[in-house]
């Protein structure tokens, strides 16, 4: 039986922000959100989050997850004090359960690492340590001649010999819930800060002759914490480089792995190319042979095989069909769906619209709330007038229609298959199949007219 306690009470003064630190984003999501998601992968009985600064905002950010339990630490008297606030909320059967302690500002620790830590906690306690090149500022792991952990010494209290130790404490630990409660009851605040430290439970466990298990993270970035904007940016880049590495191993071509941002999940087929400066948010799927040009933003969308997304295009909750082409400078809004070999060109915006196979809107158009058939040509400057200020209406365009430039299609309106709409038409009634429909004032030429001259 597993309980997870996440410490998320800190103010984060160095962030220089009114937003609670754990709500600051990494990879497009609040840091605390990453920790909660990882905890869920371990299938715990309960997740208890200890909040303090900005407690109302933190709880509100996770109001869609009612199973989370929030407790408030006030006043904030150290990490041991914080965990003690959570103990009454932990699952019954404490003598048989394990408690895992995580941190809301250490967002990228992976589930595999935590599983290893839990396996190492069988004897009663395990700590997550890391071996680093520069351990300055971190608590050092003390071991005896047999290699058993005997305690943790803080950097400021360490001797010169102890400071040479490169194995550090990350703060993440797992322990028997019953024993952890006992050790927390015995922790005192006899230190310069007058706080109750969770790390003191390690020395108490050793005194009780409990063997301290150890696990180490799979990657150094897993235990990086965020206390400042600079550290937030550092962690963001570390995570994006990891995401890029995984995609490269899958066979995706990234024009520059250092200029790539994934803020969600990205599933790619074979022979996918992604140019520089692209941002992927939510859940995005790129099928075989997709080409994404530079500086595009794709959110919660599916791009079909061999489709091409050209530079500076924004695609949000849309579907792009096989061999379709989008952009440059195109915008597909929620509900846009492009058929096979459809084309959407520069400065075209499509919303809640189906654009059929082989149809194209190549320049400067707005198509909203429309169903457009196959092989339709939408001329430059065409708009569907779908909104009367209160309600929205749909435009229906049949197959093989040609809509001339600068036309306004005032919905609700239907254009029959094979119809032609003359340039400059304001269409307010249905257009019949196979016919030319236009609305245009008669053209006049006034003979003898001269331009006005500037008065002296």
Q: Which fold has domain 229-437?
A: UDP N-Acetylglucosamine Acyltransferase; domain 1 (2.160.10)
Could you say which DSSP state residue 54 is in? B
Cα radius of gyration (the chain): 31
- The pLDDT confidence band at residue 191, using thresholds 50, 70 and 90, is confident
Nearest-CA neighbor of 62 among 39, 79, 81? 39
Residues recorded for the chain: 456
Q: d(Cα 126, Cα 313) in Å, to the nearest integer?
A: 49
- Answer for the pair 257, 278: CB distance below 8 angstroms, yes or no: no
| Predicted pLDDT at 155 | 86
The answer to whether the beta carbons of residues 366 and 355 sit under 8 Å apart is no
pLDDT at 253 over 70: yes
Q: Is residue 190's pLDDT more than 90?
A: no
Q: Which long-range contacts (CB under 8 A, 24 or more apart) does 444-453 make?
A: none
Average pLDDT, the chain: 95
Contact partners, residue 174, CB within 8 Å, separation at least 6: 98, 99, 100, 101, 114, 117, 118, 120, 121, 125, 126
CA dist., res. 182 & res. 330, Å (int): 62
The set of catalytic residues is 363
Banded pLDDT at 218 (limits 50, 70, 90): very high
Rounded to an integer, the average pLDDT of 130-157 is 90
Residues pairing with 415 in the sheet: 397, 431
Q: In the predicted model, what is the mean pLDDT of residues 386-409?
A: 97
Confidence of residue 192 (pLDDT cuts 50, 70, 90): confident
- Helices then strands (H, E): number in the chain? 8, 39
Residue 195, judged by CB atoms within 10 A of its CB (0-12, 13-18, 19+), counts as middle
DSSP E strands, 255-342: 260-268, 273-274, 278-286, 291-292, 297-299, 302-303, 308-309, 314-316, 319-320, 325-326, 331-332, 337-338
Cα dihedral 32, 37, 40, 42 in deg (nearest 10): -100
How far is residue 302's CA from residue 367's CA, in Å, rounded to a whole number? 20
Instruction: Report the C-alpha gap between 276 and 291 in whole angstroms.
Output: 12
> How sure is the predictor about 134, in pLDDT bands with cuts at 50, 70 and 90?
very high
Rounded to 10 degrees, the C-alpha dihedral 307/308/312/317 comes to 0
What pTM did the predictor assign? 0.90
- Gap between the Cα atoms of 153 and 168, Å rounded: 9
* The CATH number, out of the four listed (3.30.70.20, 3.90.550.10, 2.40.30.10, 3.40.309.10), of the domain defined by the range 2-223: 3.90.550.10
Q: pLDDT tens for residues 291-313?
A: 999 999 999 999 999 999 999 99
Residue 95 confidence (pLDDT): 58
pLDDT at residue 137, as a whole number = 87
Cβ pair 128, 223 in contact under 8 A: yes
For the chain, domain boundaries: 2-223, 229-437
pLDDT at 94 over 90: no
- Supply φ then ψ for residue 285, to 5 degrees: -125, 130
How far is residue 86's CA from residue 4's CA, in Å, rounded to a whole number? 10
The pLDDT-based confidence of 9 (bands split at 50, 70, 90) is very high
């Amino acid at each position: 039986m597993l309980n997870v306690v996440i410490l998320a009470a800190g103010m984060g003064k160095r962030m220089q922000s009114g937003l609670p630190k754990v709500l600051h984003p990494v990879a497009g999501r609040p840091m605390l959100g990453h920790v909660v998601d990882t905890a869920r992968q371990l299938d715990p009985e309960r997740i208890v989050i200890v909040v303090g600064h900005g407690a109302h905002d933190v709880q509100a950010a996770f109001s869609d997850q009612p199973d989370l339990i929030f407790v408030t630490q006030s006043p904030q008297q150290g990490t041991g004090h914080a965990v003690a606030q959570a103990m009454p909320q932990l699952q019954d059967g404490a003598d048989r359960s394990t408690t895992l302690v995580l941190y809301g500002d250490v967002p990228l620790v992976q589930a595999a690492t935590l599983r290893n830590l839990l396996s190492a906690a069988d004897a009663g306690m395990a700590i997550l340590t890391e071996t680093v090149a520069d351990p300055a500022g971190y608590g050092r792991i003390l071991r005896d001649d047999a290699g058993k952990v005997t305690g943790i010494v803080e950097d400021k209290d360490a001797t010169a010999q102890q400071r040479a130790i490169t194995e550090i404490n990350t703060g993440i630990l797992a322990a028997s819930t019953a024993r952890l409660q006992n050790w927390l009851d015995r922790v005192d605040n006899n230190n310069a800060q007058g706080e109750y430290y969770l790390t003191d439970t390690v020395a108490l466990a050793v005194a009780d002759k409990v063997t301290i298990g150890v696990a180490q993270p799979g990657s150094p970035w897993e235990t990086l914490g965020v206390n400042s904007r600079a550290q937030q940016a550092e962690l963001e880049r570390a995570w994006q480089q990891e995401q890029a590495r995984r995609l490269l191993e899958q066979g995706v071509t990234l024009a520059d792995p250092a200029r790539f941002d994934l803020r969600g999940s990205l599933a790619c087929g074979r022979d996918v190319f992604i140019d520089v400066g692209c941002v992927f948010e939510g859940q995005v799927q790129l099928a075989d042979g997709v080409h994404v040009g530079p500086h595009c933003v794709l959110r919660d969308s599916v791009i079909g095989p061999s489709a091409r997304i050209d530079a500076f295009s924004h695609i949000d909750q849309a579907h792009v069909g096989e061999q379709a082409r989008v952009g440059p400078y195109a915008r597909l809004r929620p509900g846009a769906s492009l058929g096979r070999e459809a084309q959407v060109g520069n400065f075209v915006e499509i919303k809640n619209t189906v654009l059929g196979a082989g149809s194209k809107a190549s320049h400067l158009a707005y198509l909203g709330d429309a169903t457009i058939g196959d092989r339709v040509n939408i001329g430059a400057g065409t708009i569907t007038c779908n909104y009367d200020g209160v309600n929205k209406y749909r435009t229906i365009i049949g197959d093989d229609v040609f809509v001339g430039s600068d036309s306004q299609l005032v919905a609700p309106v239907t254009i029959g298959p094979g119809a032609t709409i003359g340039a400059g038409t304001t269409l307010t009634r249905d257009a019949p199949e196979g016919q030319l429909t236009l609305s245009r004032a008669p053209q006049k030429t006034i003979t003898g007219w001269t331009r006005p001259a500037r008065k002296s």
